[in-house]
Amino acid sequence: MHNLDLILTLTGSLAAALAFGYITHRLGLSPIVGYLLAGIAVSSNTPGFVANRELAGQMAEIGVILLMFGVGLHFQLKELLAVRRIAIPGSIIQSLFATALGTVVAVVFGWGWTAGVVYGLAISVASTVVLTRVLADNNDLHTPTGHIAVGWLVMEDLFTVLILVLLPALFGGAAASSGRVPLALGLAVLKIAALVGFTFTVGTRLIPWVLRRIAGTQSRELFTLTVLVVVLGIAVGSAALFGVSMALGAFLAGMIVGRSDFSLRAASEALPMRDAFAVLFFVSVGMLFDPGQLLEAPEVILLTLAIVLLGKPAAAFAIVLARGYPVHTALAVAVALAQIGEFSFLLAALGRELHVLPDAAVNALVAAAIVSISLNPLLYRLIDPLEAWARRRPRLRRWMIARVRASAVPESAGAADGDSVWKPSHRAIVVGYGPVGRTVTRLLRENGVEPTIIEMNLDTVRQLRAEGMPAVYGHAGHRETLEGAGVDRAGTLVLSASGIRDAEEVIRVARELNPDIRVLARTAYLRERPALHDAGANQVFAGEGEVALAMTESILRELGATPDQIDRERERLHVELFGSK
């Protein structure tokens, strides 16, 4: 019966997540809202199917580990350093402000100071998933606003990782109950330092070596399995050998893989499993929500929403303005951060496990997350109308103009290197670096176009990088690989290899990321041309057709045909082989 219960819980939870996730996506909301609603639907607090909360929580543990691995994998120190003067002080001040407000709410409702601090920390951190989605949907991800918001959130994530590690030392076990908190905290810091030192000393040498050996097998399954073993192995080893949370071990594993040549491939091939287990994590959080408490204590939820939707954005707006940025940038950053998400739930789950947070606090967090995540995209779209309204008010308009003139930070500040060097029409992505790819790349560079190469041969990628050429290791059919190559800012995508696996999917994903990109594709057979055109290719060059044209021209020359005859025959044959396209 236990196995049946496990299968029923897994199937029911994923099915509910699929249904609610699809509905919320169609409504223009984040799927996270749907996953939380799915958890509510399969919980014991609502009628119908009831999933096993304990089993769901155990499966969600894997989701937490993989979520933390993803955070470490995508953590880029250079992105943080580019906006460090605003992101570091801004995130710290805003987090302290939100934590203080949350603590006050908790104390007022009788939860105590300890629960108040944990609760305040939980509502101080925004969702990375929601923020990047909102910025991308509004074409602000690669703007100064986007860089500031992402850097700000990176600091919040790092701060939250530290809290996740220290909470068990502060409130767990006999150390906390006996009052030996300083000793326990000092011991935890030593363990963390030992883990970090060991992981980066041994891991940075061993893990890339192992991944390189596995990548040499050209087996996608073995590579995916290796990444999962590395993540879970380091996470479990962190807890078993160092007494540190598995979340920190997974984060460190992500950082090590992210610094290697395999970062994009790991993201594209191994992290889809993360998404499935992360869904279970959100469902398990939703299962903790009790709709009945909305009627019993609506004030807690309303005050929490006030902090998330008003207090946090107000603090961020004031901080960004104080650092000399224009009003638009301050508004955009403030609204983008006006929500809570996955890290809030991680803190809440740990606080509940340590018997620090009451169920009412978790309930309020889930309700606040559902509302804030749902409203965030809508609020972000109101920034421009709000600015337009303000400019029609003489006093506000004069103040906004004065802010722009007095701004000490140019609009381009914080942009990553190279973001504005090449315009979209002067960037190209070349998939494959065989004879055709090399020729296309040389022609592009000779004509002032900057190409980025996507290649599955690691040695080729390293050679290109040594020569100073941008190159990405990974399969072009994965969204993460194309994003890493900058397809959203490119003018042309060239599929130079004829045997690209899932070429149609490559084109479709590229079109989703950049609808205006021009796609040139190569294929071996004429029968494959229609499918590539249907997928979105502007031009398709088939090897069979080009060989037929070349052979026809050679035969006609040997037969003594005139240039005009050869041209007419080439044109006729071109129409027969390639049609009107």
Nearest Cα residue to 409 out of 346, 490, 484, 320: 320
Pick from 392-406, 495-509, 539-553: least confident:
392-406
Q: Who contacts 144 (Cβ-Cβ below 8 Å, separation ≥6)?
A: 329, 411, 412, 413, 414, 415
Residue 308 to residue 129: CA distance in whole angstroms: 17
Nearest Cα residue to 37 out of 17, 9, 11, 10: 17
Residue 556 to residue 194: CA distance in whole angstroms: 76
What's the pLDDT score for residue 543? 73
What's the pLDDT score for residue 202? 81
Q: For residue range 282-341, what is the model confidence (pLDDT) as tens digits?
A: 888 788 777 777 777 788 889 999 999 999 999 999 998 888 787 888 888 999 999 887
Q: Is the pLDDT of residue 359 over 90?
A: no
Which run of H or E residues covers position 522?
strand 518-523
- Report the SS3 class of residue 519: strand
Q: Which of residues 396 and 16 earns the better pLDDT score?
A: 16
Residue 173 to residue 168: CA distance in whole angstroms: 8
Q: Is the pLDDT of residue 399 over 80?
A: no
| Angle (CA) 369 375 376, round 5° | 85
Domains of the chain by range and CATH? 2-381 (1.20.1530.20), 424-578 (3.40.50.720)
Is 576 exposed, middle or buried (CB count within 10 Å of its CB: 0-12, 13-18, 19+)? Answer: exposed
Q: For residue range 538-563, what is the model confidence (pLDDT) as tens digits?
A: 888 877 767 776 777 777 777 777 77
Cα separations in angstroms, 9 against 55, 67, 105, 224, 279: 7, 21, 35, 26, 13
What's the pLDDT score for residue 76? 66
What's the pLDDT score for residue 375? 86
What's the pLDDT score for residue 498? 67
pLDDT tier for residue 142 given thresholds of 50, 70 and 90: low
What's the pLDDT score for residue 101? 93
Pick from 100-109, 196-205, 418-427: least confident:
418-427
Average pLDDT of 105-112?
89
Residue 125 to residue 108: CA distance in whole angstroms: 22
The β-bridge relationship of strands 492-495 and 427-431 is parallel
Pick from 129-143, 238-252, 505-519: least confident:
129-143
Q: Is the pLDDT of residue 69 over 50?
A: yes
Q: Which of residues 454 and 5 earns the better pLDDT score?
A: 454
Q: At what angle do helices 359-381 and 327-336 cross, to 10 degrees?
A: 140
Bridge partners of residue 494, in order along the sequence: 430, 520
What's the pLDDT score for residue 99? 92
Q: Is the pLDDT of residue 346 over 50?
A: yes
What's the pLDDT score for residue 103? 92
Residue 403 to residue 324: CA distance in whole angstroms: 8
What's the pLDDT score for residue 181? 58
| Percent above pLDDT 90 for the chain | 8
The b/e string for 169-196 (b: 16+ C-beta within 10 A; e otherwise) is bbbbeebbeeeeeeebeeebeebbeebb
Answer whether 335's CB lies under 8 Å from 138's CB: no
Q: For residue range 180-225, what is the model confidence (pLDDT) as tens digits?
A: 556 666 776 787 788 788 888 888 888 888 888 888 887 878 888 8
What's the pLDDT score for residue 418? 37
Answer whether 73's CB lies under 8 Å from 30's CB: no
Is 394 exposed, middle or buried (CB count within 10 Å of its CB: 0-12, 13-18, 19+)? Answer: exposed
Per DSSP, the residues of 228-249 read HHHHHHHHHHHHHHH---HHHH
- Token reading at 124: 């101080």
Average pLDDT of 246-259?
80
Average pLDDT across the chain, whole number? 79
| Percent above pLDDT 70 for the chain | 85
- Token reading at 177: 């109950």
Q: Which of residues 174 and 444 earns the better pLDDT score?
A: 444
| Angle (CA) 156 514 436, round 5° | 115
What's the pLDDT score for residue 407? 46
Q: Is the pLDDT of residue 412 over 50?
A: no
Q: Which of residues 245 and 334 earns the better pLDDT score?
A: 334
Secondary structure letter of residue 175 according to DSSP: H
What's the pLDDT score for residue 307? 94
